[in-house]
């Protein structure tokens, strides 16, 4: 038995998604073309813990009673190593520590993970290493140590500069803490600090939102992420709105809020490069652009997602992988098997193109011909979408642009993307169906 087959079998047995291992084996036999850029990936590391629960958040996070940093560090390192080896990438292009509240992790943990990365792949000194930061006094105090550990970009979750709103959201900071933290982060990483702000908050008006933005502009750095509050089922805020205790602005108001924010930010020199991301001086997030450009990424930590080819076991298709959610279970699995992958789904050619389409159209520049060609060497954008009546309608309505450069949304179209995408997916599906029947005929 060759070493290669042995590895394959071992992995198939280890994999908790049982039968999927066999799917993998089968796919080896049927396709041969490797998805592009399989030699490199970005790395996402999930820190699942928070000090307290925010009223709007249903994300994968845990309020630990006592935390064993050493065990967590060891497991993150172990899983990083396993997944890097499985992917056999030679280069990690960027690292992002998200959460939860990763600024609650010890700087030594961050350093240890980065060290592991460097041991198994090339991680350039210039590579973007981002850490999400909660703007609490404690978070602010450790920023310097994080930079020493290797972090060179901060994403600060200030959410709002209005203390009433911060209380409603259940945040553990106030606007003053936010300003201090941003200022400290800017000192440490000038030009590489992002702030998250939220709109459509309970009780917020268009006017109060605009004045909040005006207050933010002078203090923020070169990057802003803009999120609309979404009410998730099961959260405290959902219940409060559902019961009528709080009320959030309606669709028409949030539309005005979004568009006015885009206007205000653009006037201040921020270029919108994605649905919810704005940058000055081209200070875009390389890591996030990787997601929208359909590049490989490896997800490490409880509940993290990844998308990469398992080259070590002869994989030829990209896999969508999800790690086990609960930190304690994840820890046990990593200790036992080297990784805590809970779910693996093969992305076939069509599935990958769907993601490239959906993610790519979120960017201001859309999907360039070259970008699409990388994933679809045979069928270009014009062939797939050029003849579609519905795409032509989108173009005539000034929402979509399809030309020699590629496919992208207009300014108006970007705000309506979720209404455009189902149609685009259907067009893609129809093209493949037609292609398939013609191929058989």
Q: Give me the residues that bind another protein (CB under 8 A), please.
A: 44, 46, 98, 225-228, 230, 251-252, 254-256, 258-259, 275-276, 288, 291-292, 297, 299, 303-307, 320, 322, 345, 354-355, 358-359, 362, 393, 397, 399, 414-423, 425-426, 429
CB of 45 to another protein, least distance (A): 11
What does the DSSP assignment read for 15-34?
A: -TTTTHHHHHHHHHHH--PP
CB of 419 to another protein, least distance (A): 5
Residue 387 is classified by DSSP as T
Which one, 241 or 320, has the nearer CB to another protein?
320
Which one, 178 or 289, has the nearer CB to another protein?
289
Which one, 182 or 420, has the nearer CB to another protein?
420
CB of 293 to another protein, least distance (A): 12
C-beta neighbour count of 40 within 10 angstroms: 18
CB of 6 to another protein, least distance (A): 31
Which one, 105 or 420, has the nearer CB to another protein?
420
CB of 390 to another protein, least distance (A): 8
CB of 253 to another protein, least distance (A): 10
H/E stretch holding 296 reads none
* Residue 12 CA from chain centroid, whole number: 28
Which one, 3 or 233, has the nearer CB to another protein?
233
What does the DSSP assignment read for 220-275?
A: --SEEEEEE----TTSHHHHHHHTTSS----HHHHHHHHHHHHHHHHHTTPEEEET
CB of 371 to another protein, least distance (A): 17
| Cα–Cα distance for residue pair 325/321, rounded to 1 Å | 12
Cα–Cα distance list, 91 to 33, 87, 196, 281, 322 (Å): 21, 11, 29, 26, 22
Cβ-in-10-Å burial (0-12, 13-18, 19+) of 256 comes to: middle
First to last CA, the chain: 41
Cβ contact 356:416 at 8 Å: no
Give the total residue count for the chain.
Answer: 441
CB of 258 to another protein, least distance (A): 5
Integer-rounded Cα Rg, in Å, for the chain is: 23
| Cα–Cα distance for residue pair 127/132, rounded to 1 Å | 16
Parallel, antiparallel, or unpaired for β 318-323 and 305-309? antiparallel
Which one, 181 or 323, has the nearer CB to another protein?
323
H/E stretch holding 338 reads none
Which one, 348 or 355, has the nearer CB to another protein?
355
CB of 60 to another protein, least distance (A): 8
Cα torsion 190, 191, 194, 199: sign: positive
Which one, 202 or 299, has the nearer CB to another protein?
299
CB of 215 to another protein, least distance (A): 21
| Cα–Cα distance for residue pair 23/190, rounded to 1 Å | 48
Which one, 107 or 413, has the nearer CB to another protein?
413
Cβ contact 408:399 at 8 Å: no
Which one, 173 or 307, has the nearer CB to another protein?
307
């Amino acid at each position: 038995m060759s070493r290669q087959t042995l590895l394959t079998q071992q992995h198939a047995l280890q994999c908790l998604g049982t039968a999927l291992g066999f799917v993998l084996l089968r796919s080896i036999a049927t396709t041969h073309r490797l998805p592009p850029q399989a030699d490199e990936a970005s790395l996402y590391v999930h820190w699942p813990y928070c000090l307290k629960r925010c009223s709007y958040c249903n994300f994968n996070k845990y309020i630990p009673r006592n935390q064993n940093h050493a065990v967590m560090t060891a497991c993150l390192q172990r899983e990083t190593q396993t997944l890097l080896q499985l992917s056999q990438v030679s280069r990690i292009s960027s690292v992002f520590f998200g959460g939860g509240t990763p600024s609650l992790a010890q700087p030594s943990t961050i350093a240890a993970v980065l060290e592991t990365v460097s041991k198994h792949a090339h991680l350039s000194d210039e590579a973007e290493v981002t850490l999400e930061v909660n703007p609490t006094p404690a978070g602010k105090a450790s920023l310097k140590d994080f930079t020493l550990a290797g972090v060179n970009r901060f994403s600060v979750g200030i959410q709002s500069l209005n203390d009433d709103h911060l209380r409603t959201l259940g945040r553990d900071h106030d606007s003053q803490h936010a300003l201090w933290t941003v200022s400290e982060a800017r000192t440490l990483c000038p030009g590489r600090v992002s702030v998250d702000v939220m709109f459509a908050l309970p009780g917020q008006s268009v006017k109060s939102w605009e004045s909040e933005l005006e207050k933010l502009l002078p203090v923020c750095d070169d990057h802003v992420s803009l999120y609309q509050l979404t009410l998730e089922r099961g959260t405290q805020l959902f219940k409060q709105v559902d019961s009528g205790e709080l009320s959030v602005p309606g669709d028409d108001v949030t539309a005005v809020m979004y568009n006015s924010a885009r206007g205000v930010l653009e006037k201040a020199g921020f270029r919108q490069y994605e649905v919810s991301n704005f940058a000055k001086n081209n200070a875009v997030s390389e890591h996030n652009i990787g997601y929208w450009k359909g590049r490989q990424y490896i997800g490490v930590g409880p509940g993290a997602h990844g998308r990469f080819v398992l080259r070590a076991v002869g994989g030829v298709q990209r896999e969508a992988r999800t790690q086990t959610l609960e930190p304690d279970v994840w820890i046990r699995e990593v200790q036992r098997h080297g990784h805590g992958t809970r779910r693996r789904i093969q992305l076939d050619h069509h599935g990958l193109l769907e993601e490239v389409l959906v993610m790519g159209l979120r960017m201001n520049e859309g999907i360039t011909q070259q970008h699409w060609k990388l994933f679809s060497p045979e069928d270009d954008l014009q062939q797939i979408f050029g003849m579609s009546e519905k795409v032509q309608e989108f173009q005539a309505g000034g929402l979509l642009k399809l030309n020699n450069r590629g496919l992208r949304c207009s300014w108006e179209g970007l705000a309506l993307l979720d209404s455009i995408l189902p149609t685009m997916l259907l067009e893609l599906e129809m093209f493949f169906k037609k292609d398939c029947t013609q191929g058989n005929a």
